[in-house]
Chains A and B, each alone.
Chain A
Amino acid sequence: MRAWLAHRVEGLPVAAIVILVAALALYPLAATMPFWRHVVIMSMLYGAMGVAWNILGGLAGQVSFGHGLYFGVGAYTAAYCYTAFGLSPIVSLPMALAISTGASVLIGLPTFRLRGHYFVLASVFIMQSIYVLVSNWDRMGGAIGIEYPVYKAEGIADALWHGQFPDKLPYYYAALALFLLALGTFRAIQRSRFGMFLVAIREEQDAAHSLGVDVARYKLYALIASAAVTTLAGTFYAQYVLYVEPISTVSLLVSLEIGFIAILGGIGTLWGPALGAFVIVPTTELLRAYLSGRLALDMSRLADGGPLAWLEYYALGGGGNVDILVYGLVIMLIARFQPAGVLGFLRRID
C-alpha cells in the first residue's frame, strides 16, 4: 500500500494525486458561493480541453488551432437537438461524437500531409471558414446563436434527461468527471504503443515512417481521440451556460485558448495542461469580476461629466476583454522565457 502511494505518475506521487482529487471532490462543501464553484468548473472544463489538445499537439506534435470546431460540434449539436426536437443531451451526445469523428477524418486526412507552418495555417483557415459558415447559418441562429428555454425540472431523473439543473453542484461533478476522463485518456494513450508512435512522429517523422510507423493513421487516431474529448466538453458547456454562440465556441479565439492552456502548463506532459488551466482560468475570471465591478463605478462617475471624464473614457474604455489581454501577455512571456511552461519553472526550482 505504502509503496503504491509513493509510486510516481510523471513525477507526482499517487498519494498526492489521491489528495488532489479528494480536495477537488470536497471543494464544493467549502465553497458554497456560486461564483467560486463556477471558477473551478471553468478551470476543469478548460483543463479537460487542454489535456485533450495535448494528445494531438503535445504527444504527436501537431499544433492545431482548430479545436474550437470540435468544441462547437458538441455545443451546437446539444443545443440544436434540444431546442429543435426536444432531444436530451444523453441522446444527442453520441450523435455529436459521430459528427466530430467524421469531421476529424475529413479534415485530418488531407491536412496531416502538411507540415510546420503549412499545417498551422491550414487549421487557422479551416477554423475561420467554419466560423463564417456557422455565423451565417440561420438554422443555427447565425451570429446570435441558440438560447435554451429555461426548464424547471421535477426530480433528478427529469433534470438528468433535460440536462438542466437549478444549482451548480451537479455541473460541478460532471465537470470533475470530464476532467478526470480527459486525464485518464491522455495517460492511457501516453503509456500505450500508440502513444510511443505519436512521440516518435513528433520527434522525427521521417525516421518513424522509415521504421514502419503508419504516420498518417496514428496522427488521425490522435485527432479523433482529442476531438472526442473536446466534443464532450462542448456538450457540457452548452448544458452549463444554456447558450451557444459562434464567438464563444467555433472561433479561432477559443481554439487559441485551448492550445494555450496546454502550452502554459507544459506541452506534451500529463499534468501541464491541468495545471495551466488552474493558473490562468481563475486569474482571468477574478480579474474580469473585479474590473467589471470597478468599471461600473467609473462609468457612473463619467456620467457626472467631471473634468477628467474624457480621460477616463479613453483610458478605461469598455474595460472588456481584459481576460484576452492577460492571455496574450502571459502567452508571450511563456514563449519568451520558459517554453516548457509553468512545469518548466517548477522543475527549475526543484
Chain B
Amino acid sequence: MIYGQVLVDGLIVGLMFALVAMGLSLIYGVMNIVNFAHGEFMMLSMYFCWFAWHFAGADPLVAMPFAAVLLFFLGVAVYRLLIRHVLARSLVAQIFATFGLLLFFQATAQFLWKSDVRTIPTSWASGHFQIAGLFFNGPEVVAGVGALLTAAALYWFIHRTETGLALQAVAEDAQAARLMGINDNRMYAIAWGVACAAAAIGGGLLSTYYAIAPLSGARWALPAFVAVAIGGFGSISGAFFGGLIIGVVQTAGGFFFSPNYKEVFVFALYLLVVFWRPYGLLGRK
C-alpha cells in the first residue's frame, strides 16, 4: 500500500513536471535553445495569481487564463528582444542570455516583493480525500489534472493544428520550411509564446497550494530539465513521460531516504541517463 501511495503521489507531482518539461522541450526542439528562465515565467504567473487574489479576491483558476495570455506576450517579447539575436551566436552567448533572464526575473521579484513566502488559501481545493485506501491532497490532484489537460492541449496543438505542423517543419529544417513559405521567425516567436503560456498555467495551478516565492519556479524547472533529457531533448511526448518518471523518483527518494535530498536523486538520474543513453531513455539519435 505504501508503495502504491508513493507511486500515486509521484505521478501527481510528475504531471506538473511533465507540463513544465513539455514547454522546455518545445523551445529546445524548435530552436535548440535551453531556456533556463522557464521556471521564472511560472514564478511570475504565481505572483500574478497572488495579486489577483489579494487585491480582487479572484480564485487562482480564474486569474490563470489571464496570466497565460499575458505571459504569451511576454514570451513573444523575450523572443523578439533577446532570443532572436542570439540564435546564430555561440552556445555560450545563448546560455548566458537565458541565465541572465533567470537572474533578472528572480532578482526583480526579490527586489519588488521580497523573499517572503506567500500562499493563497482557497476554500474549494483544501482538504484530503481517500479512494481505495490511497490518500489524495485536493489541490495537488486539481493541479495534476489541470497539468494533464494542458499537456494534452499542447500535444494537440503541436500535432493536429496547422501552426503546430509548421512548428514541427521549422524544427526539422528551418531553411526548407522557409522555402515552403513558413515564416520561421514568426514560428519561433509562437513557440516562445506558447511555452510561456504553458508555464503560466503550470504556475497558476501550483499557486493554489504551493508556496509563492522568487525561487519557487526554479524548484520546478531545474528538475524538469532532467525530464527533458530522459525523454530526449526536443521530444514533446518524451518530455511528458520523463516528467512522470522524475515525479516518481523525487517522491520515492524523498519518502524512503530524506525529503532534504529529493532533488539530488533526480539530478543523479540525469547523469545516469546522459552517460548511459545520451539521447534519452526514449530518444533516438
Chain B binds chain A? yes
Tell me the A residues contacting B by CB distance below 8 Å. 57, 63, 110, 113-114, 116-118, 120-122, 124-126, 128-129, 132-133, 135-136, 253, 256, 259-260, 263, 267, 314-315, 317-322, 324-325, 327-332, 334-337, 339
A124 to B270, CA, bound (A): 11
What are 5 pairs between A and B in contact, CB < 8 Å? A132-B263, A325-B104, A330-B100, A336-B97, A339-B86
B115 & A318 in contact (Cβ 8 Å cutoff):
yes
**Counting CB contacts under 8 A, is B274 at the interface?**
yes
Known contacts A322-B111, A335-B94; A110/B275 CB under 8 A:
yes
Interface size class of B (residues with CB under 8 A): 35 or more
Known contacts A118-B274, A334-B96; A328/B101 CB under 8 A:
yes
Q: Which of A63, A116, A133, A335 contacts B86 (CB 8 A)?
A: A335
A108 shortest CB reach to chain B, Å: 13
Contacts of B107 in A (CB 8 A): 321-322, 324-325, 327-328
B89 & A339 in contact (Cβ 8 Å cutoff):
yes
Known contacts A129-B268, A325-B104; A136/B92 CB under 8 A:
no
Q: Which of A114, A135, A320 contacts B278 (CB 8 A)?
A: A114
Contacts of B229 in A (CB 8 A): 118, 121
Q: Which of B93, B96, B268 contacts A260 (CB 8 A)?
A: B96
B263 & A128 in contact (Cβ 8 Å cutoff):
yes
A246 to B175, CA, bound (A): 47
**Counting CB contacts under 8 A, is B156 at the interface?**
no
B100 & A328 in contact (Cβ 8 Å cutoff):
yes
Contacts of A121 in B (CB 8 A): 34, 225, 229, 270, 274
> Which of B103, B110, B261, B275 lies at the interface centre, i.e. has the most chain A CB atoms within 10 A of its CB?
B103
Interface of A, secondary structure class, is: helix
A136 to B222, CA, bound (A): 19
Known contacts A128-B222, A328-B104; A319/B271 CB under 8 A:
no
**Counting CB contacts under 8 A, is B267 at the interface?**
yes
A125 & B99 in contact (Cβ 8 Å cutoff):
no
A320 & B114 in contact (Cβ 8 Å cutoff):
yes
Task: Digitize B248-285: 1 where CB-to-A-CB distance is under 8 Å, 0 elsewhere.
Answer: 00000000001011011001101100110010000000
Contacts of A314 in B (CB 8 A): 112-113
Contacts of B113 in A (CB 8 A): 314, 317
A124 & B110 in contact (Cβ 8 Å cutoff):
no
A335 & B91 in contact (Cβ 8 Å cutoff):
no
Known: A63-B92, A318-B114, A331-B99. 16 other contacts (CB 8 A): A110-B271, A114-B278, A117-B233, A125-B222, A128-B263, A259-B96, A263-B92, A263-B96, A321-B107, A321-B110, A322-B111, A331-B100, A332-B97, A335-B89, A335-B96, A336-B86
A267 & B97 in contact (Cβ 8 Å cutoff):
no
A335 & B106 in contact (Cβ 8 Å cutoff):
no
Q: What residue of chain B has the Cβ atom nearest to residue A332's Cβ?
A: B100
Contacts of B263 in A (CB 8 A): 128-129, 132
B81 shortest CB reach to chain A, Å: 8
B275 & A318 in contact (Cβ 8 Å cutoff):
no
**Counting CB contacts under 8 A, is B85 at the interface?**
yes
A327 & B103 in contact (Cβ 8 Å cutoff):
yes
Q: Which of A57, A124, A325 contacts B108 (CB 8 A)?
A: A325
**Counting CB contacts under 8 A, is B102 at the interface?**
yes
Q: What residue of chain A has the Cβ atom nearest to residue B90's Cβ?
A: A339
Q: What residue of chain A has the Cβ atom nearest to residue B81's Cβ?
A: A336
A118 & B278 in contact (Cβ 8 Å cutoff):
yes
Contacts of A331 in B (CB 8 A): 96-97, 99-100, 103
B230 shortest CB reach to chain A, Å: 12
Q: What residue of chain A has the Cβ atom nearest to residue B228's Cβ?
A: A121
Contacts of A135 in B (CB 8 A): 260
Contacts of A114 in B (CB 8 A): 274, 278
**Counting CB contacts under 8 A, is B211 at the interface?**
no
Q: Which of A122, A267, A320 contacts B92 (CB 8 A)?
A: A267
Q: Which of B95, B101, B233, B261 contacts A132 (CB 8 A)?
A: B261
A260 shortest CB reach to chain B, Å: 7
Q: What residue of chain A has the Cβ atom nearest to residue B96's Cβ?
A: A335
Task: Digitize B175-219: 1 where CB-to-A-CB distance is under 8 Å, 0 elsewhere.
Answer: 000000000000000000000000000000000000000000000
A246 shortest CB reach to chain B, Å: 13
Contacts of B153 in A (CB 8 A): none
> Which of A133, A253, A263 lies at the interface centre, i.e. has the most chain B CB atoms within 10 A of its CB?
A263
> Which of A110, A314, A336 lies at the interface centre, i.e. has the most chain B CB atoms within 10 A of its CB?
A336
Contacts of A317 in B (CB 8 A): 110-114
B47 shortest CB reach to chain A, Å: 11
Contacts of A335 in B (CB 8 A): 82, 86, 89, 93-94, 96-97, 100
